[in-house]
Amino acid sequence: MLDETLTQEELGVVAKAKAFAAEHVAPNAARWEWERHYPLETIRLACAAGLNRIELAKQHGGQGLSFSCKLRAFEEIAKADFAFAFALINHHNACARFARDGKPAHVARLLPRMLTGEVIGCAGLSEPGVGSDFGGLEMKAERVEGGWKLDGAKAWITNAAVAGLSVAYAQTDRSQGYRGIACFAIEAERPGFHREKPFELHGGHAIGVGGFRLVDYIAPDEAVLHPPGAAFKAALAGINGARAYVAAMCCGMLQASLETAVRYTQQRKTFGQPVIDHQGVRWKLVDAATDLEAARLLTYRAARLIDEGKDAVLPAAHAKKFATDMAVQRIADCIQAMGANGLRAEYPLARHLAGAKIAAYTDGSIEMMNERIGVALPQVFG
């Protein structure tokens, strides 16, 4: 298991994340959903606990720990609520990327506010008409004196409801294709930034998903994180990690669902015996447990390869494809095992099912994983 490769310090971080989720996330997640509430106050508590500094370099005030440590910590948080975990990890990632790639003076001005949660970070890839086709970005950036003028819209952005800084990508020269894409640190406090109303969903409101528009927004030269020619490669470098930790979150949600379903079916009796003793129910839960083990093996393998600096493209794609697909099916099976009571708000299963469906789209849909794996078939099996 992955925990065997972690240091004592890293295991302590995983334990802290688990305890934080039990105290602050699990008791409130249902209310956040019913109230369509972005839990900014709890995000800030997580920042105070250092859960947005796991991978952040030590010179920037972080812990400088492994990717595997981050993945395991957020797997534990996702057991309580996927939407909160995904919102927090996106803020974590924005802190680490801005600190690593930003200009020193710019980082010194904004990073301290990000570390406390005063300024929430987000990514800025997806657009109203552009999802997984990253090379087809329509937001444009035009060179002007002292910086760049940006115009366009972003959509389906986690944390967009409150984010003060976005690590956003824009096209500087459409004729250059993906080579024309540049990356900018976009500040919500600057003129030309217009926040859109958060999206109303059928689940996962704690994710704070929405969008923003830039109209004649001037990004100064200090805001360029990656110039044209380098931004596309930088974005792809992080996608394997994103796919792996989303897969881990699916494992966390399924484990929590299994624990709930097994406890319930042990206690509930039908036809004179516990529900779990009925073979049709028990075998469904067995299938879910087996798929959970398989998903964890795929996911933890990808995490180890990422930490070792090895090629994780296919392992991450396999993990993301399998974990998200099976989570939707197996969490639904856990609900079915509990009968109609599986839908009651006092249980987290329906919320986890919505989270699993969100996970099926984030950082590359299942269909995109099929395409990625399919392209490699001749090399792997030909």
Whether 63 and 50 have beta carbons less than 8 Å apart is answered as: yes
> Helix, strand, or coil here: 340?
helix
Distance CA 300, CA 323 (A): 12
Report the SS3 class of residue 150. Answer: strand
The helix/strand/coil state of 259 is helix
Tokens representing residue 199 in the block: 């999206």
| Contact yes or no for 106/223 (Cβ under 8 A) | yes
User: Looking at residue 234, what is its pLDDT?
Assistant: 85
Give the CB-side neighbour count of residue 78, counting CA atoms within 13 A. Answer: 29
| CA gap 183, 178 in Å, rounded | 12
Which residue shows structure tokens 């931004």? 231
* Tokens 């972005």, residue located: 38
User: CA angle at residue 359 from 357 to 364, to 5 degrees?
Assistant: 120
Closest CA to 91 of 119, 67, 66: 119
Tell me the sheet residues that pair with 151: 140
Give all domains of the chain, ordered by start, each with its CATH number. Answer: 2-120 (1.10.540.10), 122-228 (2.40.110.10), 232-376 (1.20.140.10)
Q: Which two tokens stand for residue 175?
A: 């004729």
Q: Which amino acid is at 221?
A: D
Q: Got the DSSP string for 98-143? A: HHHHS-HHHHHHHHHHHHHTSS-EEEE--BTTBSS-GGG---EEEE
Kindly report the length of the chain.
382
**What's the CA gap between 121 and 100, in Å, rounded?**
14
Compute the distance between CA of residue 123 and CA of residue 127 in angstroms, rounded to an integer. Answer: 11
pLDDT at 197: 92
- Give the count of alpha carbons within 13 A of 325, CB side only: 14
Long-range CB contacts (< 8 A, 24+ apart) of 271-275? 275/337
Pairing between β-strand 121-124 and β-strand 165-171 as defined by DSSP bridges? parallel
Is 316 strand, coil or helix? helix
Which residue has tokens 């969903």?
A: 201
Among 69, 47, 71, CA closest to 298: 71
Provide the pLDDT for residue 360: 93
Report residues of the chain scoring pLDDT below 70. Answer: 131-135
CA–CA separation, 343 and 356 (whole Å): 15
The string of DSSP letters for 351-368 reads: HHHHHHHHHTTTTS-HHH
